[in-house]
A and B are shown apart, each in its own frame.
Chain A
Amino acid sequence: MIDEQVYRAIIDAAEDRRAVALATVLHTRGSVPRHAGSKMIIDPARGLIGTIGGGCGEADVIAAAAEVVQSGLPRVVDVELTDAIDSWSPAVCGGVMQILIEPV
Chain B
Amino acid sequence: MSEPVTAARAAQAALDAAAGGSAVAIVALVQAGAPVTRLIMRDDGVVEGSLGHAVLDEFGNRLAREALSKPDPEPRVESVTVSDVPYQLYVEAHRAPDHLIIVGAGHIAVPLAHLGILLGFRVTVLDDREEMATPDRFDDETRVLRADFAVDPFAGVRIDGRSYIALVTRGHRWDYDCLHRIVAGDAKPRYLGMIGSRRRVRAAFHALLESGVPRDVLATVRAPIGLELNAETPAEIAVAIAAEIVAVRRGSDIASISSRERVLDRFLRED
For B75, give the chain A residue with the smallest CB separation: A37
Any A CB within 8 A of the CB of B6: yes
B-contact 0/1 string along A55-88, CB 8 Å cutoff: 0000000000000000001111000000000000
For B90, give the chain A residue with the smallest CB separation: A26
A-chain residues with CB within 8 Å of residue B30 when the two chains form the complex: 26, 74, 76, 100
Any A CB within 8 A of the CB of B92: yes
A-chain residues with CB within 8 Å of residue B31 when the two chains form the complex: 74
A-chain residues with CB within 8 Å of residue B36 when the two chains form the complex: 74, 100, 102
For A36, give the chain B residue with the smallest CB separation: B75
A2–B77 CB distance below 8 A: no
Asked if A26 meets B8 with Cβ closer than 8 Å, knowing A4-B18, A8-B15, the reply is no
B77–A7 CB distance below 8 A: no
A24–B14 CB distance below 8 A: no
Any A CB within 8 A of the CB of B34: yes
Chain A binding surface, main DSSP class: mixed
A-chain residues with CB within 8 Å of residue B120 when the two chains form the complex: 1
Asked if A15 meets B8 with Cβ closer than 8 Å, knowing A74-B34, A74-B36, the reply is yes
A-chain residues with CB within 8 Å of residue B187 when the two chains form the complex: none
B33–A11 CB distance below 8 A: no
B-contact 0/1 string along A3-27, CB 8 Å cutoff: 0100110110111000000101111
B-chain residues with CB within 8 Å of residue A13 when the two chains form the complex: 8
Any A CB within 8 A of the CB of B11: yes
In B44-96, the 8 Å CB interface with A consists of 74-77, 88, 90, 92, 94
Q: Which of B18, B33, B77 is in CB contact (< 8 Å) with A73?
A: B33
B76–A27 CB distance below 8 A: yes
Chain B binding surface, main DSSP class: mixed
Any A CB within 8 A of the CB of B7: yes
A1–B97 CB distance below 8 A: yes
Any B CB within 8 A of the CB of A104: yes
A27 to B18, CA, bound (A): 22
A-chain residues with CB within 8 Å of residue B35 when the two chains form the complex: 73-74, 102
Any A CB within 8 A of the CB of B12: yes
For B33, give the chain A residue with the smallest CB separation: A73
Any A CB within 8 A of the CB of B32: yes
B77–A75 CB distance below 8 A: no
A-chain residues with CB within 8 Å of residue B97 when the two chains form the complex: 1
Top 4 A-B residue pairs of the complex, sorted by shortest distance between their CB atoms: A14-B8, A37-B75, A10-B11, A36-B75
> Can you spell out 28 A-B residue pairs with CB atoms less than 8 angstroms apart?
A1-B18, A1-B120, A2-B14, A2-B94, A4-B15, A7-B11, A7-B15, A10-B8, A11-B11, A14-B6, A15-B8, A22-B7, A24-B90, A26-B30, A27-B77, A35-B74, A36-B74, A36-B92, A37-B92, A73-B34, A74-B36, A75-B32, A75-B33, A76-B32, A100-B36, A100-B90, A104-B6, A104-B7
